[in-house]
């Protein structure tokens, strides 16, 4: 006797095969892998991501990390990541590509604070996490 109720298939309303996320019909295809590959394919052509892959960004990042030795949010850990104070996409849309590299619009953050900030901005964090509780 199973200890918990069966899961529903992630692609339809049928019951998933025990121990998996998909029904027998959808078991043959690996949907998660397909979605991940499509996401990465579409993400590669993102014009904002392309701005991060050049010498100008690397130079800007180093200037910010030299300026901000400690994380601007927590102040306890070393700054290891250069983060746009406003979202990079908004900076480019409102002010142009040159402002993307303006060090006054960028702050140094530790990995933990950068991940938390990004999760809240992108909607990956739940309302409970966003409230800081």
- pTM value is 0.65
- Phi and psi (nearest 5°) for 49? -60, -35
pLDDT band for 24, please (50, 70, 90 cuts).
confident
Higher pLDDT, 40 or 105: 105
Write down the pLDDT at residue 17: 83
């Amino acid at each position: 006797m199973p200890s918990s109720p069966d899961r529903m298939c992630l692609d339809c309303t049928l019951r998933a095969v025990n121990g998996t996320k998909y029904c027998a019909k959808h078991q043959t295809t690996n949907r998660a892998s397909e979605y991940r590959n499509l996401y990465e394919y579409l993400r590669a052509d993102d014009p904002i991501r392309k701005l991060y892959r050049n010498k100008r960004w690397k130079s800007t990042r180093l200037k910010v990390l030299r300026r901000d030795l400690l994380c601007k949010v927590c102040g306890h850990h070393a700054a290891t990541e250069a983060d746009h104070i406003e979202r990079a996409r908004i900076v480019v849309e409102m002010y142009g590509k040159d402002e993307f590299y303006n060090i006054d619009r960028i702050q140094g953050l530790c990995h933990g604070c950068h991940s938390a900030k990004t999760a809240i901005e992108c909607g990956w964090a739940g309302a409970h996490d966003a409230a800081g509780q």
